[in-house]
């Protein structure tokens, strides 16, 4: 495994790479990588598109090069945003004061057929939206000629690729990949001992459905989350002046099965 030097490529190149035929080498994403959000908000996506259009984006797209393919380790949502914008699926949503010149716009969230410019007077902070197809050819060309930065790795194994994805996205503090003392059976028993029997059985069955290369990581995260929820319920109950225990805490205190 080694890093190549940083590489600047045009948005045009990235879009072609993302949408070309399979045998030419499509950019790949893994559905097994959990992400903080499935898609960025319109405002966040618009901010990113504007930064790319102005050539001021400083983030890296991290790729793992495997044969003719490239797996996206970090940056899948950003690539999808650029593709969807160029294909007209989403607009660029930005404050009116940041909108580039020669770009047709309308108020954000207002249907095109209902918008009449003479009846709308935005201030600099008003959110407006602009679609790629409504931009002047020169602005479209500027967008396609803008650059994004790639950081490439070569032939990273699946486990190391997953490890790096989690590191870059800050999605976990501890996992089976990092902790040699982690014992899934013991952690599961600790959680189940704090649940009613039917809920414990439900949890065991649900964990059994999880499969794939990251299954141990996913099960670990589920157990960590449930432990945190149960602990928080205990703390909330202990701090209550009324002394009424939440249902979850009752299970914790009495160890019911």
DSSP states of 73-101: EE-HHHHHHHHHHHTTSS-EEEEGGGPPT
Give alpha helix (H) positions in the chain. 11-19, 22-25, 42-53, 76-86, 137-145, 158-169, 184-192, 197-209, 215-238, 247-254
Residue 248, token pair as written in the block: 């979850």
With beta carbons less than 8 A apart as the criterion, state whether 130 and 38 touch.
no
First-to-last CA distance in the chain?
Answer: 49
Q: Note the pLDDT tens digit of each residue in 22-71.
A: 555 578 877 666 554 456 789 999 999 999 999 999 888 988 888 778 88
The rounded distance, in Å, linking the Cα atoms of 4 and 156 is 13
Among the residue ranges 91-95, 132-136, 154-158, 166-170, the one predicted with the least confidence is 166-170
Contact between 81 and 59 (Cβ < 8 Å): no
CA–CA distance, 72 with 62 (Å, rounded to integer):
6
In the chain, what percentage of residues exceed pLDDT 90?
35
* Secondary structure letter of residue 6 according to DSSP: P
Contact 148, 75 (CB under 8 A): no
pLDDT, tens only, 184-217 = 899 899 999 999 999 999 999 999 998 765 677 7
Query: Which DSSP state fits 154?
Result: E
pLDDT digits (tens, 9 = 90+) for 91-127: 999 999 999 888 888 888 776 666 655 567 778 898 9
Identify the burial level of 11 via C-beta atoms within 10 angstroms of its C-beta, where 0-12 means exposed, 13-18 middle and 19 or more buried: buried
**This prediction's pTM:** 0.62
């Amino acid at each position: 495994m080694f890093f190549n030097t940083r590489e600047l490529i045009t948005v045009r190149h990235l879009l072609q790479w993302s949408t070309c035929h399979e045998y030419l080498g499509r950019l790949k994403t893994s559905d097994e990588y959990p992400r903080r959000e499935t898609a960025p908000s319109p405002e966040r996506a618009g901010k990113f598109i504007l930064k790319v259009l102005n050539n001021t984006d400083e983030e890296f797209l991290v790729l793992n090069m495997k044969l003719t393919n490239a797996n996206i380790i970090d940056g899948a949502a950003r690539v999808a945003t650029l593709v969807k914008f160029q294909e007209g699926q989403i607009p660029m949503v930005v404050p009116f004061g940041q909108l580039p010149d020669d770009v047709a716009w309308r108020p954000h969230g207002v249907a095109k057929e209902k918008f009449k410019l003479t009846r709308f007077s935005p201030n600099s902070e008003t959110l407006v939206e602009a679609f790629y197809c409504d931009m002047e050819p020169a602005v479209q060309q500027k967008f396609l000629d803008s650059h994004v930065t790639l950081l490439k790795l070569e032939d990273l194994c699946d486990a190391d690729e997953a490890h790096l994805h989690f590191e870059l996205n800050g999605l976990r503090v501890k996992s089976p990949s990092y902790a040699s003392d982690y014992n899934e059976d013991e952690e599961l028993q600790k959680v189940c001992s704090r649940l009613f029997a039917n809920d414990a059985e439900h949890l065991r069955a649900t964990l059994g459905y999880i499969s794939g290369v990251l299954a141990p990581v996913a099960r670990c995260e589920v157990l960590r989350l449930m432990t945190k929820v149960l602990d928080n319920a205990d703390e909330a109950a202990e701090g209550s002046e009324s002394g009424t225990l939440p249902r979850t805490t009752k299970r914790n205190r009495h160890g019911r099965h």
